[in-house]
Amino acid sequence: MKYKYDSVPESMKDMQTYGFNWMEFVASIPSPLYLITSYKSNGLPNACMQSWTTFTGGANGYFAIVSSVSKYGHLYKTLHESGDAVINFMSADLYDKCMFTIQNNAFDTDEITASGLTCIKADKVNAPLVAECFMNFECRLKWEKEICDGDDSVLACLEIVKVHIDEKHLDENDLGRTGDTGILYNIHHPINPEKYAGTAHDYVGVIKKIRDYAEY
Digitized pLDDT (tens) for each residue of the chain, 216 residues in all:
999 999 999 999 988 888 888 999 999 999 999 999 999 999 999 999 999 999 999 999 999 999 999 999 999 999 999 999 999 999 999 999 999 999 999 999 999 999 999 999 999 999 999 999 999 999 999 999 999 999 999 999 999 999 999 999 999 999 999 999 999 999 998 999 998 887 778 899 999 999 888 766
Q: Look at residue 197 in the predicted model and tell me its pLDDT.
A: 81
Q: Encode 44-61 in three state secondary structure.
A: CEEEEEECCEEEEEECCE
CA dist., res. 76 & res. 63, Å (int): 17
CB 55 within 8 Å of CB 62 = yes
Which phi and psi (to 5°) does residue 153 adopt?
-135, 165
Beta strands at 128-130 and 61-70: parallel, antiparallel or unpaired: unpaired
Which phi and psi (to 5°) does residue 12 adopt?
-110, 5
Q: Look at residue 199 in the predicted model and tell me its pLDDT.
A: 73
What is the DSSP secondary-structure string of 127-185? SEEETTSSEEEEEEEEEEE-SSTT-SEEEEEEEEEEEEE-HHHH-TTTT-SSGGGS-EE
**Assessment of whether the complete model's pTM goes beyond 0.85:** yes
CA dist., res. 50 & res. 64, Å (int): 12
Looking at this protein, which amino acid is placed at residue 86? V
Closest Cα to residue 37, out of 105, 79, 74, 86?
86
CA dist., res. 47 & res. 131, Å (int): 13
On whether the 32-185 domain is CATH 1.20.1250.20, my answer is: no
Domain boundaries, the chain: 32-185
- Secondary-structure percent of the chain, ordered helix, strand, coil, rounded to 5: 20, 35, 45
CA dist., res. 32 & res. 185, Å (int): 4
